Structures are given as structure tokens and as C-alpha cells.
Chains A and B, each alone.
Chain A
Amino acid sequence: MLKDLFNKKKKYATVPSDKIKQDVPEGIMTKCPGCKSIIYTKELEKSHKVCVRCGYHHQMSAPERLKNTLDKGSFKELDADMISENPLSFPDYVERLEKDQKKSSLNEAVVTGEGTIDGHRTAIAVMDARFRMGSMGSVVGEKITRAIEHADKEKIPFIIFTASGGARMQEGVLSLMQMAKTSVALKRFSDHGGLFISIMTHPTTGGVSASFASVGDFNFAEPKALIGFAGRRIIEQTIREDLPEDFQTAEFLLHHGQLDRVIHRADMKKTLSKVLMIHGNRGER
């Protein structure tokens, strides 16, 4: 079309992720998406997977997160053996699940259980973006709900680290209803005086952002994490204007009053510990 000739919008070039992998020797070195420098993987792991040069928070797997957050050896997993069905008989869904199970060594996109943080008991759920982009289907909804119910029963706090592209398409309306399921459980937990801390990590979008992630008694996030309801591309197409560079980042949300704090990963455990300490000293409810 004629107007395309005058379209000044930049066409961004994307580097296929396979190519990045080829550039860097598998395992030993990691390329930082933030500053493009090559870092020893071991060095990165020592610094909580935060780039020492630019502060970029590299994605963490659920097991890494648990190790980084809980006291050593304190984690007891719940419902590790729960796996998805294919309720809509969606083509290729089962194959994709199996592929991600192999890739991530996890049965689903969330790991739940309980452990201690500096001795404070807490229920915890950690989403893992390597598994179907951390999307929420029936199993993710059910495991989170059970973790909340566990916290309720044991009268301990509930902490979640979110990392999710949103609802899982392959389970259709059942995925949508997991937003309601986790909400009824959280409401009951809250009515019983339960403490809920939500920590949004990169990325937290769609149906997960629009349910439990946004309604913590404390809403925290990691620096630069992408957090939002609708996708950036969809918004740009809808409103036909360019969006600010920091749009839908943790800092953007903090600025707009949606978060209590943005917390560097190195400070995460001690911040959670402080909240649990103050909470624990509140006296009988």
C-alpha cells in the first residue's frame, strides 16, 4: 500500500535465539542479554544469576530460585507428581508437554511446597518459564491452590514467585477458570488472616498478572521484569502509537503505584526475611 512507503516505523531485526546459543560455548559461558558480554556461567551462578557488569537479572529456574530463597535443605515439595491431561484433545499438546518435561526436568510449570526463610516457615510456589512459558493450565492452578490451602491449614504465609506468559491456550476456558480458582482460595486464606507475598519476575503477563500475581498483601518485583496485562505488540497495533521504552517494566509499575518495591535479587531473601520477621512479631490475631 502507498502509505507503507511513508511508514517510518523501524523494523526491528531479531536474532534467532539458536544463533546466540551457537555463539557461546554451551554451558561454560553465557551471553548476557543485557550488555552482550560473555560471562563464565559459574561466575554468574555465584552472583544469583545477575550480571555483575550491567545488573541484568538472568532468568532463574524454579529449583535455582528455591535454592536462592529458602534455607538450605528446608524445602519439602508438594504434589510433585501432578501432571496435565489434554481436556480439549488439543493437537500436539501432549507432545509439547513431554518435550518440556524433558527440557526442564519438571512435571509442570510450577513447583510448590514449604520451607523456611531464616527459620521462618512459609508455603511457597515458584513458576518456571522454561515450561510452556510458565503458562497456567489446570495443573498450575491446582498446585497453587493446594499450596495456598496448605498455608491456610498450617497457618503459615504464602509466597509466590511468578513467571508466566499467562493462561495456557491449549486448555481453553479451563485455564481461564484457574484465575477464579486461585482467587477463591486466596480470598479464604486472606479472610483467615493469611499473609500473601507476590514477587513478580520476568515475565509476568496475561491471566497470571490479572489474578494472584497482582493481589499480594505485598507486591514485589525484580528489576526490569516485564509485567503487564496485554502484550506490547497488541497494544501498539491497537492504539497506533509507540510506547515508552520502560513500558510494562517493574520500574514502570512502581512509578504507577502498582508495586510496593522493586527488589534486587541479591536483597530478595533478606527482604522476605524482614517481612516475615515483622509479621511474625504481630502477636496473636
Chain B
Amino acid sequence: MAQRLDFERPLQELEDKITELNAFMEEKNVDLTDEVSRLQKRLSKMEEEIYENLTAWNRVQLARHPERPTTYDYIDRIFQDFLELHGDRLFGDDEAIVGGIATFEGKPVTVIGHQRGKDTKENLRRNFGMPHPEGYRKALRLMKQAEKFNRPVVFLLDTKGAFPGKAAEERGQSEAIARNLIEMAGLTVPIICIVIGEGASGGALAIGVGNHVHMLENSWYSVISPEGAAALLWKDSGLAQQAADTMKITAPDLKELNVIDEIIPEVKGGAHRNIEVQAKSIQQALSKSLEELTQLTKEELVEHRYEKYRNIGQYTFVTDTIGLK
């Protein structure tokens, strides 16, 4: 049974009660089926109410669920013949980003993603999925390799951000991110990016400039984490829940702002409830995107990406009543 989040507690209580009643029926041999089915009805109604009215913060909680599937979980289920490739050829191998070659529905692709750990030990090794410059430069090496051999690139985004550390700054964290943005802008193969969990800031965008950008229903993507936003804007990271709302960071928000293409629906209660089914729906979205994008020529792919990002943003011009001039 998956670990429950605070907003799921009423469901948990009801489920416990049903289990209790079932056990009681068996033990004492009394018929309580009416009562049980009444409770079950109430449970599914409650589930509907909770999962269809998730707040932005609830989605952040789901995106951070300890059992939430990671890049490897999806690679195993969506791709075949995955062969992981390591290192940036300059400094080292950053395990916060993983990547390699594989086949997808029989066709060669390169797949790259942020990789969190499943436990503390692995998280230390993978730096909680927060890359150093060598991680971004590994991604760059692999995407240039993909371009050379005309393979589409699939990026899976899931990070709390690029790592804020001394070594990262010394080795040019800014340049590593900036370089990837430039190179992704000009890549002559299809790029598809999918936010599978958390998408924080330049650390996410550094593998996020795609022809198509999709988000899982309960993932989030923004310029900063809700905690960071609350600390910066209101000097109180405790206001993260409010920031999650104000900053417009959910998949529906980003769809509304025209930043993403598709929202990939999640299994009821979150991707961790059924990884197989979740992987299937990601595969379908990927399949559709690839079919569409492989129709385009190299020049058209670059042009398509140019147009997509060229048009993001909202601005206006001075009228008599506002502005200075």
C-alpha cells in the first residue's frame, strides 16, 4: 500500500474501516455487506472529490511522493534495449543525470533524464537529482551524438534545481546551463521533453528546450520551487503552499500560459499508484509526438522550436494612462 499524504487521510480512515468490517464479518460470521458497500460508495465519492479538486500544493506533494516513479522506472517500461552511457569527457560522470541510447517502438532514440535516488544512500550518490555542470555537459554530449546519428532525443525532467554549490560554480554551472539552451535551440533532430516530477528553474530548463513539452498531470514546473519563491518574495519559506498557488506552477496552469503542449493524465491518486499504467500513457503521448515531429525536416524542426519559444511571454505598450512615455 502506497504511503498516504495528509490530504489523503480521510480516504485512509475510510479504507481502514472497510478492512476492519470485512475482517469482522469473516471472524464473527455476520452479514454486514450492506454497510460495507455503503462505505465503499462513500469512498469512491470521496476519492473523486479529493483527486478531482487537487490544490496546487497537493500536486507538489504528489510530485514529491517518496514512491513517485523516476526516470529509470520509465526508461525500463517505455524503451527497449536501453544502453546507459556515462561521462562528459571533460571532468566526470554526474549521476544526477542519466542517459543513453535505446529503441522506442522499434526506432532508435536517445533518452536523457534527471535521476533522483530511491533511498538516502542512492540520493547521496545522485545528489538528490540536482546536477553539477558535468551532468549538463554529459547531456550535451549525448544530444550532439544523437544529432550526428539522426536520433530523436527524449528528455525526462525531474529536479529540484541545478545544485547550488562551490564546485558547481567553479566549473561554470551558469555556462553549462546556458550552453545547453543554445545547443538545444539548434539541434536538428526532434526533441521531446516530459516533466515527470519536479521541474525547478534553469536546472530543469537546461534539458527542457523541446519541440514538444509535456507534463504529467501532477508534476510542477516553474522558475523556482514554492519554498524558494516564498522565501524570496515574502521572506518566509513557510508560505510555500500559498506560493504554489500564486506562482501558477501546475500542468493546467502551464497549459493555460501556453508553455506546454500536452498534459499527460495520471493514474488516480498519482503516478506511483500504478507505474505500468502510467508508463503506458507516457508512451502513448511520446508515440504521438514522435509521429508528428519525424515528418519535419531538419530545418523545419529548428524553425518549429524557434517559433515555439519566440512567442512565449506577455507584454504590452505604453498608452496615455500607463507607463512613462
Contacts and interface: CB of A to CB of B under 8 A. Distances in A.
A85 B316 contact: yes
B115 to A, nearest CB: 19
Interface of A (DSSP majority class): helix
Q: How large is the interface on B (under 10, 10 to 19, 20 to 34, 35 or more residues)?
A: 35 or more
Residue picked from B223, B247, B323, most chain A C-beta under 10 Å: B223
A215 B249 contact: no
Contacts of B177: 210-211, 229
B185 A212 contact: no
Contact of A139 (B166, B315, B322): B315
B182 A229 contact: no
Contacts of B315: 82-85, 138-139, 142
Interface residues of A, number: 68
B318 interface: yes
Nearest to B208: A180
Nearest to A206: B202
Contact of B310 (A101, A185, A238): A185
Interface stretch (B105-113, B137-145, B149-157, B168-176): B168-176
A116 B314 CA distance: 31
Residue picked from A176, A180, A227, A231, most chain B C-beta under 10 Å: A180
A83 B323 contact: yes
B246 A91 contact: yes
B114 interface: no
Contacts of B175: 214-215, 258
A188 interface: yes
Given A174-B257, A177-B259, A207-B201, A184 B221 contact: no
Contact of B249 (A81, A105, A106, A173): A173
Residue picked from A107, A169, A206, most chain B C-beta under 10 Å: A169
Residue picked from A83, A105, A228, A257, most chain B C-beta under 10 Å: A83
B248 A88 contact: yes
Given A90-B246, A175-B223, A177-B259, A138 B324 contact: no
Contacts of A81: 317-318, 323, 325
B181 A180 contact: yes
A229 B168 contact: yes
A99 B306 CA distance: 34
Given A101-B323, A179-B202, A228-B169, A214 B174 contact: yes
Interface stretch (A31-39, A60-68, A239-247, A270-278): A239-247
A138 B163 CA distance: 26
A190 interface: yes
Nearest to A204: B174
A84 B315 CA distance: 5
A228 B223 contact: no
Given A83-B318, A230-B168, A235-B164, A177 B246 contact: no
A21 interface: no
Contacts of B233: 169-170
A243 B166 CA distance: 8
A174 B314 contact: yes
Interface of B: 162-166, 168-175, 177-179, 181-186, 201-202, 205-206, 208-209, 221-224, 229, 232-233, 246-249, 253-254, 257, 259, 305-306, 309-310, 312-318, 322-325
6 contacts: A176-B202, A177-B312, A186-B185, A247-B169, A256-B172, A258-B175
Interface of A: 80-85, 87-88, 90-91, 98, 101, 105-107, 137-139, 141-142, 145, 167, 169-181, 183-188, 190-191, 206-207, 209-215, 227-231, 234-235, 238-239, 241, 243, 247-248, 256-258
